[in-house]
Amino acid sequence: MFRGLGIVLIVSAFFTAGLSAAEYEVGQKNKAFTVESLKIKAGDIVSFPNYDSFFHNVYSLSPVKIFDLGSYPKGQTQKVKFEKPGKVTVQCAIHPDMKMTIDVQ
Ligand SMILES: [Cu+2]
């Protein structure tokens, strides 16, 4: 279900009672995303916790899901629900080298 060359950290992937939506995690650690790519289903939720001691600002300009979580420090997280299928490129506004892809199916 998941593919990625790096370390794939799925801390939580659970189903809430009565709903088929799953929740996944894409952390920010050592100035990189903890997952390079992720396959999810439409309606699933991804949380983006910051594990670094500095700020990150996760965002996407992909038409399938445009969002900007703003900058937040270590220990904080933000969640995004992906309603529509398609490819979403996720980046960090503070660190241009940070990039990962979510394939919503
Ligand atoms: Cu960053």
pLDDT in tens, 1-12: 556 545 444 444
Rg of the chain in Å (alpha carbons): 13
pLDDT at residue 15 tops 50: no
- Whether 9 is in a domain gets the answer no
The domain total for the chain is: 1
CATH of residue 67 = 2.60.40.420
The pLDDT assigned to 20 comes to 78
Q: Would 96 be classed as within a structural domain? A: yes
Whole-number percent of the chain with pLDDT over 70: 82
Residue 53 alpha carbon to ligand 1 centre in Å: 11
Q: Is the pLDDT of residue 65 over 90?
A: yes
Cα of 60 vs centre of ligand 1, distance in Å, is 13
On whether residue 93 sits in a domain, the answer given is: yes
pLDDT of residue 30: 98
The angle at the Cα of 99, spanning 45 to 30, to the nearest 5 degrees, equals: 95
95: CA distance to ligand 1 center in Å?
4
Q: Is residue 51 part of a domain?
A: yes
Specify the DSSP class assigned to residue 50: B
Q: Which of 36, 28, 35 is nearest to 53 (CA)?
A: 28
Range of the domain at 89: 23-104
Assigned domain for 7 exists: no
pLDDT at 94: 97
Residue 85 lies in a domain: yes
Question: Average pLDDT for residues 73-78, to the nearest whole number?
Answer: 97
Instruction: Count Cβ neighbours within 10 Å for each residue of 13-45 and write b for 16 or more, e otherwise.
Output: eeeeeeeeebbbbbbbeeebbbbbbbebeeebb
Domain membership flag for residue 4: no
Distance 69 CA to ligand 1 centre (A): 12
| Percent of residues, the chain, with pLDDT higher than 90 | 80
Distance 99 CA to ligand 1 centre (A): 9
Ligand 1 center–CA 96 separation, angstroms: 8
